[in-house]
């Protein structure tokens, strides 16, 4: 599972950087990381709901 997650993260960061406009690569990577972080937070609280 960790290997799959690692592949997804690396692939999505690579794609985000490649499709972003010149000078906006860091912003696109930050957006992807923010999305992954938000999904982890939401899923943590989703699991703990009764």
Tell me the domain boundaries of the chain: 25-50
| pLDDT for position 43 | 92
Whole-number Å distance between alpha carbons of 33 and 25: 12
Q: What is the pLDDT of residues 3-26, one digit of tens each?
A: 998 999 999 999 999 999 999 999
Q: Do residues 20 and 30 lie in contact, with contact meaning Cβ atoms separated by under 8 Å?
A: no
Average pLDDT over residues 37-43: 94
> pTM, whole model, 2 decimals?
0.81
Percentage of the residues of the chain whose pLDDT score is greater than 70: 100
């Amino acid at each position: 599972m960790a290997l799959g997650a690692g592949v997804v993260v690396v692939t999505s960061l690579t794609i985000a950087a490649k499709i972003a406009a010149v000078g906006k690569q860091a912003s696109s990577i930050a957006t992807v990381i923010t999305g992954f972080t938000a999904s982890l937070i939401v899923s943590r609280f989703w699991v703990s709901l009764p």
